[in-house]
Amino acid sequence: MDLGITGRAALVTGADSGIGLATARHLLAEGARVVLTDLDAGRLADAAAGLGGEHTTIAADLTVPDDVGRLLEEARAAYGDPEILVHCAGITGPQGPFHELDDDAWRTTLDVNLFSAVRVVRGVVGAMREAGWGRIVLVASEDGVQPYVDELPYCASKAGVLSLTKGLSKAYGPDGVLVNAVSPAFVETPMTDAMMEARAQERGTDVDEAVESFLDEERPLMALKRRGRPDEVAAVAAFLCSERASFVNGSSYRVDSGSVATI
Ligand code: NAP
């Protein structure tokens, strides 16, 4: 399927690994011109080295407003105003029982996962409205609708992302700017690698056993009984960025093999 986005200027955050890198790869394969951004310039350059197509990298910390301003300036200088934004930057943040998590745990998680989305969208949406065409995809999580008690800051941040998605879709859909979310579960990326390594260490097992026990005990509704691949999330994100998704607005696409219990 031709996604109809050849030549479109795209900005992908969280792009040096996992879902962000896979999404950048999909958009490039569709002919978009892609700015990849992430925290570390070196890791970003290494990740982008294997990519084809027209792309550039700009390192920025999305929790720092001046960095976001510089990122957008440099992105505009590279390919013009972003017409597509896929916001993948995120952290698991501090985990543990609610009563043991302090304000900093909440602040850090909300700042990266929710407020960075606010900052980046605010920076790109004006030009999209003026152009009468834009696509914004925010990466939420199954946790946004199905909270797990040991990671409530993360869950609340992702519920915020879903609410932001819906609100933005109402505000800017009339201008031709379509805003949607993808909500993955347990995808094989550095984020869940770190979780599984910690679990393996706690249990005195290896990572494969940690994954298996996590699926059995913590994600029993994931019917495919495996971790997702970044590519499987990226395919949905790329579709939502496309001309083919011209009547899709305000939705959250679950890419979770059935993990969320509700219909
Ligand atoms: P990932 O590979 O760790 O990607 C997240 C990226 O965000 C990392 O490259 C990270 O940089 C970057 N980042 C963190 N803080 C940042 C900041 N302040 N400014 C700019 N970039 C920052 O993990 P992933 O799984 O692909 O995650 C992508 C998105 O999917 C996240 O929003 C995550 O919550 C969501 N998600 C993932 C899963 C899953 O199972 N993997 C499930 C549901 C939702 P560093 O690596 O340098 O810290």
DSSP labels for 31-92? T-EEEEEES-HHHHHHHHHT--SSEEEEE--TTSHHHHHHHHHHHHHHHSS-SEEEE-----
Active-site residue, selected from the candidate residues 79, 154, 172, 253: 154
Q: How far apart are CA 33 and CA 30, in angstroms?
A: 9
Pocket test for ligand 1, best of 11, 25, 38 (most atoms within 8 A of CB): 38
Average pLDDT of span 113-136: 98
Band of the pLDDT at 185, cuts 50, 70, 90?
very high
Per-residue model confidence (pLDDT) at position 178: 98
pLDDT of res. 232:
98
pLDDT at 249 over 90: yes
Cα gap 255→263, rounded to integer Å: 13
- Please, which pLDDT band fits residue 36 given cuts at 50, 70 and 90? very high
Cα–ligand 1 centroid distance for 92 (angstroms): 8
Q: What is the pTM of this model?
A: 0.98
Which tokens belong to 19? 């879902």
Mutate to test the pocket of ligand 1, among 88, 154, 197, 215 (most ligand atoms within 8 A of CB): 88
Matching residue, tokens 């579709």: 239
Q: What pLDDT shows up at residue 49?
A: 96
pLDDT at 50: 86
pLDDT tens column, 221-240: 999 999 999 999 999 999 99
Beta-carbon contacts of 80 under 8 Å, excluding residues fewer than 6 positions away, are: 9
Mean pLDDT, rounded, for 202-211: 96
**Fold classification of 9-187+229-255 (topology level):** Rossmann fold (3.40.50)
Please give the torsion angle defined by the CA atoms of residues 185, 155, 214 and 191, in that order, rounded to the nearest 10 degrees.
70
Based on the residue annotation, tell me whether 79 is a catalytic residue of this protein. no
DSSP class of 139: E
Cβ of 137 below 6 Å from ligand 1: no
Which band of pLDDT confidence, cut at 50, 70 and 90, is reported for residue 1? Answer: confident
What does the pLDDT average to over 240-256? 98
Average pLDDT over residues 127-152: 98
Extract the tokens encoding 15: 């792009």
Closest ligand 1 atom, residue 230 Cα: 26
Contacts of residue 143, Cβ cutoff 8 Å, sequence gap at least 6? 151, 154, 155, 158
Atom of ligand 1 nearest to the CA of 16: 9
* Residue 47 contacts residue 56 (beta carbons within 8 Å): no
Average pLDDT over residues 182-199: 97
Q: Residue type for 229, please? A: R
Helices of type H across the chain: 18-29, 41-49, 65-79, 103-110, 116-131, 152-172, 190-203, 207-217, 230-240
Q: CB within 8 A of 201, min separation 6: which ones?
A: none
Cα dist from 18 to 13, 77, 184, 208, whole Å:
11, 26, 12, 18
Q: Is 145 in the pocket of ligand 1 (CB under 6 A)?
A: no
